[in-house]
Structure 1
Amino acid sequence: MNRKVHKFSSNMEILPPLPQRFTIDDWHLNNQSRLRSCQTHCKLVESIIEESDRVCNSTCELIKNNKLTSDYKLEEKLSHIKFCREELLRTRKETCLEIDGLLTYKTRLIDALSSIRRNALLICQKCLIAREHRLGIDLTIDEVEKQLRIEHKVIQGVESTVVKTLEKLKEQIRVLKSSLYFIDKDLNDKDDNYRIDRHNKLLKETSMNLSVYHGAAPLDPSTITIQEWELQSHENILEAMKQINSGKILRNYIDTILKQIVDDLNSQVDKTNEAFDKRICETKEIKSTFETQHADIIKKVNEMSKNINRLEVMIAEKEGFIALAHTRLGNRCKRRNLEMTRDNVEEQLVNEVANIRDNVEKLQQTLCDAQASLRCILKMQIQLEEDINVKVNTLKIDEVECMTMRQSLNFNAY
C-alpha cells in the first residue's frame, strides 16, 4: 500500500498560488492616486524651471556687471601704473645722468690722486731720502731741505684732501646707484604688473587656455594696500631726487677743491725748484732688510713644506689602522645567535675606531693650519719680492733721474 501511495505522489503537479484579487473600488482609487501624483510632479517641475530661469537671468546679469567692473578697474589700474612708470623713468634718467657726471668727476679725482702719488709725493720722498745719505760737510740743513719738507707736508695734505673727497664721491655714487637699483626694481615690478593686468584686460570668458584653480591656497594672497604701493614709488622718487641734488652740490665742491689743489701745488713746487741745487744722492731704503727677511721666509717655507709632507704621511698611515678595525668589526657581525655579544673585544674595536678618528681629525686640523700658514708665508714671500723690486727701481730713479723727474712737476687743472 505504501508503494502505491509513493507512486501516486510522484505523479502529482504543484500549482502556483492564485494572484491577489482587487475590488473595483481599489482600481478607481489607484488610478486617481496615480493622476494626482503626476499632476503634483508636473507642477513641481514647472516651478523648478521658472526658478531656474530667474536664477540664470540674475546670475548672467550679475556676472556681466562684475566683468564690466573688473575691466574698468583693470583699465584704471593700468593707467595708474603707466603714470607711475613714466615718473620713475624720468627720475631714472636724471639719476643716470647724475651718476655719469659723478663718474666723470671720479675720474678727475683719481687722475689727480694718481698724479700726486706718482709724481709729486714720490719725487719729493725720493729727494728727501736721497739727501739723507749725504756725507761730511754736504749733510747740511739748507734751504732745499726746508723747502722739500714744506713741499712734502703740502703734498700729504693735498693727498689727504683728495682721498677724503674721493671717498665722499664714491659714497655718493653708491647711494645714487642704490636709488637707481630700487627704481629699476620698482620699474621691473610695475612692468610685470602692467603686463599681467594688460593680459587680464584682454582675456574674455571665451578665451583659450582658461582654467579653474582647485588648489588649497588662496588666490588672493595680496596684503599690501594701495597706499603702501603708491608710497613706495613716491619714496623712491623723493630719495633719488634728494641724492641728485646732493650730487650736484658735491660736484661744485670738487671743482673748488681741485682748483685750490693745483694752485697750492704749483706755488710750492716753484718755491722748491728755485732753491734746489744740482745735488744727487743715492738712497738705500729697507731693501737689505727685505732681502734678509725674504731669505728667512724661504727657509720657513721649506720647513713648513716638510712639516706638511710629514702630516700627510701620518694621516695616510692611519687609514690602514682604521680599515683594519672596520674589517674586524665587519667580520664579527657574522657571529650568530648568542655569540653576537657586545664583549670586551667589541668595545675595544669601537673605541679604537673612535680614537683613530679623533687622532685623524686632529692631524687633519693641524694639516689645515699648516697649509694656511704656508699660504700666508708664500704670500708674504711674493709681497717681499715685489717690495724688493720696487726698492731696486727706486734706487735707480733716485740715483740717476732725481732732478730729471722734478722737471715733470708741472700741475694743471684736473
Structure 2
Amino acid sequence: MSAQVLVPRPLVPQSVPADSLPVRTVEPVCNTGQYSSCGLASAGFRTAKYLLEEWQQAGYTSAYQAFADRDGSEKLRYEARQLAAECEARAQRSQADTTRRLGERLLDTHYWRSELEREIRDVTAETELLLQEKRRLERSLEATEVPLSISTDNLQCRERRQGAELVRDGAELELLKEVELIRNVQELLKRTLEQTIQQIRMNRDVKEKMEMDWSDKVEAYDIDVTCGRYNNQSTEIQFHQNSSKLEDNTSTPETWAQYSHEIIYKAERERMASINLRSLIDNILEDTTEDLRSQCDVVNSAFAQRCEEVEDAKRNMESHLQNTLNEIGGQEKNISALKQAIKDKEAPMKVAQTRLYQRSYRPNVELCRDPAQFRLVSEVGELTESTEFLKQKLEEAEQSLRNLEDTRMSLEKDITNKANTLFIDRQKCMSHRTRYPLVIKLSGYQ
C-alpha cells in the first residue's frame, strides 16, 4: 500500500502571474524495500512507524518545499518592488505630464483672456467715443430747432407786409429753401442718431458676451492654477468617485478656441463698424453745418439786398412825394391865381356890359351900330371867352390837384408800406437772425 504526502501551496497574489511561480509535484512514497512492511503476510495492515526511506523522502520534500517557497517569495518581492517602482514612476510621470498640460492650458487660457481683455478695452473705448458722437448728434439736432424757429418766424413776420410789398421776393424764396434744408438736415440727423443708438447697443451686446467669456476664463484659470498647485502632500486632496467621467456638454479644444475667436472677430467687426460710423457722423455734421451756415449767409445776403432795394425805392418815392408836394403847392397857387384871374374879369365884364346897357338907351337914330358898339360887343365876347377858358383851366387845375393829392396819398402809403417792410426785414428778421447758431454749436460741440 502506498502513502501520498500532500503539501499546501501559498496563495498566489493577483499582481504576480500564476505561470511565473515554480510548480511543485509530490510523488507518493511506497514501502517496497527489503524491510518493507508491505509483504504478503502483512497485506492489508500498516504499522505506526515510517520507513527510513520515507523519513529521508519527507526531509527532502520539506527542504525542497522551503527552497521553493523562499525562491518564490524572493521572486515575488523582487517583482513587487519592481512593480511598485514602475507604478510610482508611472504615477509621477502621469502627474508631471498632467501638470505640464495644465500649464499649457493655463498659457492658452491666459492668451485668450488677454485677447479678450484687450478687445474689451478697445470696444469700451470705442463705445465711449461713439457715445460722444451720439451726444454731438443730439446737441446738433437740438441746435437746428433755433434756425428752424428763426426761419419760420421770419416767414410769419413777412406775412405782415402791406400792399404791394407782400411779394414773393428773393429773400422769401431763400427762406423757404432754408426751412426745407433744416427739415432735411433734421431727418438725416434723426436717422443717423437711430443708427448710432443701434450700433451702441450692438457694441454693448458683444462686450457683454466677451465679458462673460472672460469671466469664465478667469474662473477656469483660477481653477487650473489651483489644480496645478496640488501635489501628493496637499491637504485638500481627497477621493471623488466618478470624477473622471466626461460630461455630455463638454467642449473640445477646437470648439473652445473657436468660440473665443468668433466672439473677438465679431467684436472687431462691430468696432470697425463703429469707427466707420463715427467717421460718417463727423462728415455728416461737418456737411450739414456747412450747408446750414452757407444757406444762412445766402438768406442774410438776400435780406440785405432786398432791404437795399426797398430802401432805394423808398428814397425814390420820398423824392417823388417831395416833388408832388411841391407841385401840389404850385398847383394850389395856380388855382388861386386862376380864381383871382376869373374874379378879375368880373369888373371889366361889368364895365363892358354896363356900357352896352347904357348905350342901349340912346334915343332914336342915336341907337347906332357904331364901331364903339361893335367893340363893346366884341369886348364882352372876349371877356366871356377868357372867363370860360380860365374856368376850364381852373377845372383842369383842380382835377390835377386832386390827382396830385391821390398820388401823394398813394406815395405816402407806399412809403409807409416800405418803411413797414424795412422794419420787418431789418428790425424783426435780420436782428432775429443774429441769434442763428454758430458752427461750433451746429456741429454739436456745445
User: With structure 1 as the length reference, what TM-score do the two structures score?
Assistant: 0.53
Among 151, 175, 178, the alignment partner of 2:202 is 175
- Which string of whole-angstrom CA distances, capped at 9 and with x for unpartnered residues, describes residues 158-189 of structure 1? 00111122222222222222232222222212
2-structure distance, mates of 1:229, 1:249: 31
- 1:359-409 alpha-carbon deviations (Å, 9 max, x no partner): xxxxxxxxxxxxxxxxxxxxxxxxxxxxxxxxxxxxxxxxxx998754311
| 1:15-414 equivalent positions in 2, closer than 5 A | 24=48, 52-117=80-145, 119-125=146-152, 140=166, 142-143=168-169, 145-214=172-241, 218=245, 220=247, 223-273=250-300, 274-275=302-303, 406-413=433-440, 414=443
CA distance in 2, matches of 1:251, 1:42: 90
Consecutive unaligned residues in structure 2, runs of 5 or more:
1-45, 308-427
One-letter code aligned to 1:80: D
SS of equivalent to 2:291: helix
Larger Rg: 2
Distance 1:216 1:75 in 2: 21
> Cα gap change, 1:246/1:409 in structure 2, threshold over 3 Å: closer, same or farther?
same
Q: For the residues of structure 1 that align with 2:95 and 2:247, how far apart are their CA atoms? A: 17
Deviation (angstroms), 1:41: 9.1
Q: Secondary structure of the equivalent of 1:407?
A: helix
- What residue identity is the alignment partner of 1:121? L
Distance 1:197 1:162 in 2: 51
Given the superposition, is the C-alpha separation of residues 189 and 100 from structure 1 closer, same or farther in structure 2, using an over 3 Å criterion?
same
Change (3 A) 1:121 1:218: farther
2:150 and 2:433 in contact (8 A); partners too:
yes
Deviation, structure 1 residue 94: 2.4
Structure 1 contact 265–411 (Cα < 8 Å) conserved = no
Contact 1:147/1:275 (8 A) holds in 2: no
Q: Deviations over 1:117-142 (max 9, x none)?
A: 3x12344445556777x698599463
Q: CA deviation at 1:208?
A: 1.3
Q: Deviation of residue 90 (structure 1)? A: 2.5
Unaligned runs of 5+ in 1: 1-21, 279-400
Cα distance, 1:234 vs structure 2: 1.9
Code of the residue aligned with 1:246 in structure 2: it is A
- Measure, in 1, the Cα distance between the counterparts of 2:243 and 2:257: 31
Which letter maps to 1:159? Q
Q: Per-residue deviation at 1:104?
A: 1.9
Task: Give the TM-score normalised by the residue count of structure 2.
Answer: 0.50
1:364 match? none
On the 8 A contact 2:119/2:264 being kept in 1, the answer is yes
Question: Structure 1 residues 213 and 138, CA, compared in 2 at 3 Å: closer, same or farther?
Answer: farther
Q: One-letter code of the match for 2:279? A: N
Tell me the distance in 2 between the aligned counterparts of 1:405 and 1:93: 48
How many matched pairs?
268
CA contact (8 A) 1:155 1:265 kept: yes
Per-residue deviation, residues 235-262 of structure 1 (Å, max 9, x unmatched): 2222222233323322222222112111
